[in-house]
Amino acid sequence: MVDERKMRVLRAIVTDYVSTREPVGSKALVDRHNLGVSPATVRNDMASLEDEGYIAQPHTSAGRIPTDKGYRLFVDKLANIKPLSIAERRAIQVFLSGAVDIDDIVSRTVRLLAQITQQVAIVQYPIQSNTTIRHVELVSLTTDRVLLIVINSLGRVEQRAIELPGHDETDLAALKHSLNEAVVGRTPADAAAELGLLADRPAPPEMQLRIRIGVTALLEVLSSEPTMRVAVAGVPNLTRFGDFTTTVQPVLEALEEQVVLLRLLGEASTGDTLTVKIGQENEYEPLQSTSLVAAAYGNHDDVWAGLGIMGPTRMDYPSTMASVRAVARYVGRFLTEG
């Protein structure tokens, strides 16, 4: 258990290390902070914090630096997130208020977050797809196996092999007609609803089985369409501070993986609270030298997606958390008013 006096020492260590990038010694703490105790007491508190895993000594004769556990306690003990200044809030509002649509707001948001936090900004956003289904084809491969082919209005072709025991060309023609009648000219969402109705319609037992097999396979194809994307800005900020113990390359590679970023933001941005994942708390190993600060944004009562920043664990958490929260709220307000 860390008492309030040791907590003040830990806060001072985090503040100084974030500011100077140098390990912090007891003398520096006494000189820079009004801790209200003697240097000997500060040294004893630092030793206790080190024993409990909140700070560490990077090498002999050096001061101490916060560990992931220390940063976590620091963040958890923040009484409140300092508000942005009036000038900062006005700058955010003016910058975002010029957006004309969701694509523009995403572009502006990701650039703004990267600029004000000096970290890597990540914004997850829904894809507004107007594609429709153009055609469904069924090609017999064997007596028990069929190739399902789906073509959309953009010319994209999806294929899937399905098991359809004992079918003949007449069966395939009837099934193809039913599937096309349900989906052609419709968006994937509308097509999925029609397929649900098709599967429930009365039909002879053998035909109903084929329809349900076809409907299931077609729904799987439609559900594979991506519904979310990620915009990233400020990647050069990762290399600006040189905070990575080995190399920044694994982090850069991870940032190129849309699936990884979507999963991170999806996990971190739920509800109306900020989420902070520090170092080893990130399940994805290449990102365990970074911290993620994320928040959800949305329209009225609906959460659309998430946004946040990623950077070294040595970051100004209070300021970064305030910026992420403020931007998320402004984006939500834009969507509401829009």
**Domain holding 63: CATH number?**
1.10.10.10
| Residues 117, 202 within the same domain | no
Query: 163 phi and psi, to 5 degrees?
Result: -85, 125
| Residues 137, 170 within the same domain | yes
| Number of domain units in the chain | 3
Burial class (CB in 10 A: 0-12, 13-18, 19+), 90: exposed
Dihedral sign, Cα of residue 75, residue 240, residue 238, residue 281: negative
Residues 186 and 221: their CA atoms lie apart, in Å, by 14
Instruction: Decide if 14 is inside a domain.
Output: yes
Instruction: Decide if 245 is inside a domain.
Output: yes
Where do we find the tokens 């944004």? 297
Q: Is 97 in a helix, a strand, or coil? A: helix
| Residues 123, 204 within the same domain | no
Paired strand residues for 230: 124
| Residues 218, 232 within the same domain | no
Instruction: Decide if 156 is inside a domain.
Output: yes
| Residues 57, 90 within the same domain | no
Q: Is 64 in a helix, a strand, or coil? A: strand
| Residues 174, 289 within the same domain | no
Token duo for residue 280: 């080893």
| Residues 122, 231 within the same domain | yes
Residues 303 and 322: their CA atoms lie apart, in Å, by 19
* Domain extent at residue 62: 4-76
Rounded (10°) CA dihedral 49, 51, 1, 283: 90
Reference 312, options 226, 266, 262, 246; nearest CA is 246
| Residues 24, 68 within the same domain | yes
Each residue's pLDDT expressed in tens, for the chain with a length of 338 residues: 678 899 999 999 999 999 988 999 988 898 888 888 888 999 999 999 999 999 999 887 778 999 999 999 999 988 677 778 888 888 888 888 878 777 788 889 999 999 999 999 999 887 756 678 999 999 999 989 999 999 988 677 889 999 988 888 998 999 999 999 999 999 888 888 889 888 888 888 888 888 889 999 998 888 766 667 888 998 888 877 566 555 677 787 878 777 778 888 877 666 667 899 999 998 888 888 899 999 988 765 566 788 999 999 999 999 999 999 999 888 887 776 65
Instruction: Decide if 174 is inside a domain.
Output: yes
Q: Of 174, 200, 223, which residue is a domain's last?
A: 223
| Residues 237, 123 within the same domain | yes
Q: Of 205, 223, 241, which residue is a domain's last?
A: 223
| Residues 159, 236 within the same domain | no
Q: Of 223, 250, 271, which residue is a domain's last?
A: 223
Q: Is the pTM for the entire model greater than 0.85?
A: no
Residues 274 and 292: their CA atoms lie apart, in Å, by 10
Instruction: Decide if 172 is inside a domain.
Output: yes
Instruction: Decide if 81 is inside a domain.
Output: no
CATH number for the domain spanning 181: value is 3.30.390.10
CATH number for the domain spanning 92: value is 3.30.450.40
Reference 139, options 167, 115, 108, 111; nearest CA is 167
| Residues 259, 277 within the same domain | yes
Paired strand residues for 308: 122, 294
| Residues 241, 311 within the same domain | yes
